[in-house]
Structure 1
C-alpha cells in the first residue's frame, strides 16, 4: 500500500492574507468548506463511495496537502519520482482534496505496477467568500483578491521546495486540475511569479480559464454587495467597519445564507490576473509555457444545471434560449445561428425536458470542447488533446452520457470495483496516459504535429450517433464550421448572456 501523509501549510500560508481575516490561529486563514460537495459530485457520477467525516472548518485544518508515495520508493535510497499535484474543482465554492473519489492511492499504486511510479499530491485552498470575495473595501484593508490562487501558489512552492524529502523529484512536477481546478492551472500560469516556475507540465480536465467563468471588477463588486446584503451587513458602513463585520460572521452563517448563485469566482482586471480572454484570440502572453494535456467530457455542461442554469425560468426553455442567443448575436449571423440551433434540434415548440438536454449539449460543445481544442491548437508549447466519451454505466438521469466528473471517477481508479472489464480498461488507459505524461513522456502523438485527438470510450473512434450530430470526438464538422462562421466570441458572449439571467 502507498504511504499517505497530510501536511498542514500553516507557516507557508502566513503571508497570504491580512491578519484581520484570521480566527484563533497563528498563521492560517479561516477556510469555509461546504459539506455537501461529495454528495453533489457523487450525484453527477451517479455512484457514491464511503465518505470520511468532514474536515473541520478551522484555521489549522483547512489549508492542507495530502501526499501519497509508492511503498517501493520508501525502500530505495536516492529515489526521485515525478510528482502529480491535483487541484480539485467545485466552481471555486465547494470541494475538498480529501474526498474519496480524489484519493490518489489507487493511481499511485497502478503507476508502480506498470513500472512508471509517481507521487501523488492533492491540495486544498480557500473557496467562496474566504477565497474569492473581492471589493475595493477589502483591498483598502490590505486583503488581496484571488486568495484561493495564492493558497495554491503556496502549495506548489512548498512541493517544489520539500517534495525531495518524500522521494519526489522537484524538477518533474505536473499540475493537474479538474473543472475549476483546470481553470486554476491556467490562472496560476498567469500570476506574476517573477520568473518562478510552479510546475513543469500541466493537465486540464474539463476546465480552463475560457470554460470556467471569472469576474471582472464590476461583477466582483456586485457579488460583494450581495454578500453584505445576505449577511445583514449595512453597505453604508465605513470600509473598515464592513470588513470588521465580515470577519465576525461564522463559517456556518456564510454557508447557510449565501447561495451558490452568487458569483464568488476568480477576479480578473487585477494586478495578478489580466482581463477577460477572447476565445478566438487569447494566447498566453509569455512563450515559456509548459507542455499541456487538455480535454473534456461529452456532457460537461450538466454542471451548469447543478449551478442553477434553469432555476426560476419560465416554461418554454428552448424558445427563451433561442431568443436570447438571437438577441445577442449580430444580425448578419442570424441565418447561420438558426441552422446551428436546428442541428441541435432546439426549436421553440420543444418540450422542456428535451430542451434541457439539447441546451446543455450546446453549452458542452461551446464551453468545453471548443475551448479545449482552442488551447491545444494555439498553445505555444507542445500539447495533447483528448476527449472523454465513456458512457456512464450507473442508474440516474445521466446514464449513458459522459457527464461532468465522470472523468475523475475513471482516472483515479476509485470506482473499478463497480466497473465491468471494458470500463476498467478505459479507466486504466486514461490513468496510464496521465502517468506517462507525468513521467515526461509523450502519451500519444503531439497535437500540433499530428492533430491527433485521444478518445476514451468503448465505441470505435468517429462512430456517428443515430442523429448524425455527435461523433466520438465532439460535435460534427458542420457544427464546428458554423462556430467559425458565427464567431466563437459571439457565441461565448451569447451563452454568457443567457447564463447570467439564471
Structure 2
C-alpha cells in the first residue's frame, strides 16, 4: 500500500487529507457522532471548516474486548497484519472510514458525480468489532468496482457495543437522557451523516446500499422499523432480526442487575450506581462483567416496536415494517454452515454429552411435549440417534442451527419483499482449521472484501471475484442476479471444488443449493418455524 496522500476540498467539511492506496483514497476516522457521556443518545457531528482534517489514520475504536480482532480472524481461519489504531475511546469512537475511487489512478471523482454508496455494518454479536479490522478494509473492492466500470464509494462504521451500546434498565430510563439500543441509534446517526455529507465526496445520498454481516445484518433489519428512510437497498450476510431476536425490558432488567452486581455496585443507592456507571473506567466493563451477559437489542417501542417472528413478518398489519416501502430491494445471502458461529461461542465447549443433551432438550420442549412423533421426526431429520457419537451429533446440531437461524429466516424475508434476491454462499473454507472445506460463518466477508486473495488459489479467487462483482453491480442498481419471487430463483456461490464459481437455480434444486427444503414441511408438522426457532434458542441457552 502506498504511503502517499491525497487532498479533497469538501464544500461543507473543508480540506480533507486522505491516504492513497493503489487505486483509491481512504478518508479514515471521520467523526460522525457526538456523545455527551457514554450512555447518551448520539447527536450528529455537524460540519466545521475551522481547520483541515487529517484523515490518514484510523480513528479510535469504541470499547470492545481486547484481542477480539485476532478472535475474528481465527473464526475466518486466516490472519492479516493489523494496522496501527489508537486506544479504544468512550466518547470518540463514533467514526467511519470512507473509501473513494481514483480514476486512472490519479483523479478523485468530481463532487457532482453521484456515485452509489456501499455502507458496511460489521458483526460481532453486539460485543466486539471495529471498522479498523484489516479484514474489513474496502480499498480492494473500490478498486475492483472502477475496473469493472461501476465505480462506487465504500464506507464502514463503528458503533457502541456491549454495556455502552445496549445496557438499559427502568432506573436508567427514568433519568431521561439515557437511550435504549444506543448501538443501533449510533448506526442510524451514521446513515444520517452519510446522507448529509456524502455528496461532497462525489457520492449520491439517494443511492445508499447498506450491507451488514451477522449482528450487522440483524441491525439492518431492525432499521427497517424506521419511518425515516435510511438507505435505498439492503444486503444481509448471515443475519436477521429472527436470528438475533430482541429481548424485552424484563430480560434487560435482569441483565442490568447482573452487571451492577458484577461491578460491585449492588449495595449502592440507584443514583450512586448510575453515577459510578458514568464515571468508572470502561475497562472495568470488560474485566469484571461476565462475558455471557445477554447485552443486545431490546424492544423499546421506539427503535424496535415488537419482536419479529416467522408468523408475523408476513402480515403487514400485524407487523408493519416501514422499510418495505423505502428499501426498494433486499438481497439475503446465507452460508451453508453459518451455524458454526454458534458452535464457536457456545456448542463446541459442550461437545461431551451433547447428543443426549440435545435429544432431551427437543423431547422436553414445552411446545413439543404433546407431540412425541414430531420430536422423533426432528431428531431423525438430522440423523441424531442414540448410536450417534457426540462429535457427529455436534456437526448435525450445527446444521440444525444453520437451517433454523440462518437459512429459514433468509427465505422468510425474501418472501416478504417485493423485490428480493436469495443467495447461498457454498464455498468451502480454504484454510486449515476446524471448518476447513466448509462454508463457515464469516467466510463470505473474507471473500467479499478481497483482502485474502493473495492466499487463494485461482478457482477460489474466481468465487471471490464473482461474489464481489455481483455486490458491486447490485449497489449500482443492476439486475445482476435473478429475483427470488415469484419463481423462487436463487443464486449460488461455489463450491469451486466442484468446478464452478457461481450459478443460478431454483430453490427446490437441492443438488445445486445444498439446502434442505424438506425443513419447511418438518416445521409445519412441528407447529410452525417459530417452534423450531424456540427449540434452537432454548438449547443454545443451555
User: So what's the TM-score if we normalise by structure 2?
Assistant: 0.84
1:331 and 1:113 map into 2 onto residues whose CA distance is 58
Question: Aligned pair 1:360/2:401, yes or no?
Answer: no
Number of residue-to-residue matches in the alignment: 484
1:140 and 1:76 map into 2 onto residues whose CA distance is 49
By relative contact order (CA 8 Å, sep 6+), the higher-ranking structure is 1
Is residue 298–residue 387 contact of structure 1 (8 Å, CA) maintained in 2? yes
Q: Please, which moves more after superposition, 212-221 or 282-291? A: 282-291
Match among 128, 132, 139 for residue 105 of structure 1: 139
Residue 307 of structure 1 aligns to a residue whose secondary structure is: helix
Let me know the Cα RMSD of the aligned residues: 2.5
Question: Aligned pair 1:116/2:138, yes or no?
Answer: no
Is residue 68–residue 108 contact of structure 1 (8 Å, CA) maintained in 2? yes
Q: 2:364 matched to which residue of 1?
A: 327
Q: 1:436 to 1:452 in 2, by over 3 A?
A: same
1:77 and 1:426 map into 2 onto residues whose CA distance is 34
Question: Aligned pair 1:5/2:27, yes or no?
Answer: yes
Is residue 455–residue 473 contact of structure 1 (8 Å, CA) maintained in 2? yes
Question: Aligned pair 1:64/2:91, yes or no?
Answer: no
Match among 277, 296, 301 for residue 246 of structure 1: 277
Aligned-residue offset at 1:227:
0.9
Aligned-residue offset at 1:85:
0.4
Aligned-residue offset at 1:405:
0.4
Q: 1:445 to 1:276 in 2, by over 3 A?
A: same
Question: Cα deviations across residues 157-181 of structure 1 (Å, max 9, x unaligned)?
Answer: 0000100010101110011000000
Q: 1:220 matched to which residue of 2?
A: 252
Question: Aligned pair 1:490/2:531, yes or no?
Answer: yes
Q: 2:51 matched to which residue of 1?
A: none
Q: Please, which moves more after superposition, 240-249 or 475-484? A: 475-484
Gaps of 5+ in 1: 23-27, 464-468
Aligned-residue offset at 1:199:
0.7
Residue 33 of structure 1 aligns to a residue whose secondary structure is: coil
1:250 and 1:58 map into 2 onto residues whose CA distance is 11
Q: 1:305 to 1:382 in 2, by over 3 A?
A: same
Residue 122 of structure 1 aligns to a residue whose secondary structure is: strand
Q: Please, which moves more after superposition, 286-295 or 94-103? A: 286-295
1:322 and 1:103 map into 2 onto residues whose CA distance is 43
Aligned-residue offset at 1:101:
0.6
Alignment of 1:233-382 (within 5 A): 233-234=265-266, 236-283=267-314, 285=320, 286=322, 287-290=324-327, 291-309=329-347, 311=349, 313=350, 315-328=352-365, 329-379=367-417, 381-382=418-419
Q: 1:86 matched to which residue of 2?
A: 120
Q: 2:55 matched to which residue of 1?
A: none
Q: 2:425 matched to which residue of 1?
A: 388
Q: 1:15 to 1:172 in 2, by over 3 A?
A: farther
Question: Cα deviations across residues 35-54 of structure 1 (Å, max 9, x unaligned)?
Answer: 32221211111110111234
Match among 508, 511, 518 for residue 478 of structure 1: 518
Q: 2:108 matched to which residue of 1?
A: 74
2:511 and 2:337 map into 1 onto residues whose CA distance is 13
Residue 391 of structure 1 aligns to a residue whose secondary structure is: coil
Question: Cα deviations across residues 412-471 of structure 1 (Å, max 9, x unaligned)?
Answer: 1111111111111111111111111111111211111331111101236699xxxxx974
Between structures 1 and 2, the one with greater helix share: 1
Q: 1:130 matched to which residue of 2?
A: 164
Q: Please, which moves more after superposition, 441-450 or 280-289? A: 280-289
User: So what's the TM-score if we normalise by structure 1?
Assistant: 0.91
1:462 and 1:115 map into 2 onto residues whose CA distance is 23
Residue 387 of structure 1 aligns to a residue whose secondary structure is: strand
Match among 415, 436, 444 for residue 452 of structure 2: 415
Aligned-residue offset at 1:275:
2.2
Alignment of 1:71-220 (within 5 A): 71-72=102-103, 74=108, 76=110, 78-142=112-176, 143-191=178-226, 195-220=227-252
2:198 and 2:441 map into 1 onto residues whose CA distance is 31
Is residue 55–residue 61 contact of structure 1 (8 Å, CA) maintained in 2? no
Is residue 186–residue 209 contact of structure 1 (8 Å, CA) maintained in 2? yes
Residue 325 of structure 2 aligns to a residue whose secondary structure is: coil
Question: Cα deviations across residues 176-227 of structure 1 (Å, max 9, x unaligned)?
Answer: 0000000111111213xxx421111111100111012422111111111111
Residue 224 of structure 2 aligns to a residue whose secondary structure is: helix
2:517 and 2:203 map into 1 onto residues whose CA distance is 44
Q: 2:67 matched to which residue of 1?
A: 36
2:159 and 2:41 map into 1 onto residues whose CA distance is 18
Gaps of 5+ in 2: 1-22, 44-58
Residue 308 of structure 1 aligns to a residue whose secondary structure is: helix
Residue 281 of structure 1 aligns to a residue whose secondary structure is: coil
1:372 and 1:79 map into 2 onto residues whose CA distance is 34
Is residue 237–residue 333 contact of structure 2 (8 Å, CA) maintained in 1? yes
Q: 1:496 to 1:20 in 2, by over 3 A?
A: closer
Question: Cα deviations across residues 367-391 of structure 1 (Å, max 9, x unaligned)?
Answer: 0000000100122x31001010001
Q: 1:274 to 1:29 in 2, by over 3 A?
A: farther
Residue 485 of structure 2 aligns to a residue whose secondary structure is: helix
Residue 355 of structure 2 aligns to a residue whose secondary structure is: helix
1:233 and 1:20 map into 2 onto residues whose CA distance is 24
Is residue 424–residue 513 contact of structure 2 (8 Å, CA) maintained in 1? yes
1:18 and 1:269 map into 2 onto residues whose CA distance is 16
Q: 1:462 to 1:288 in 2, by over 3 A?
A: closer
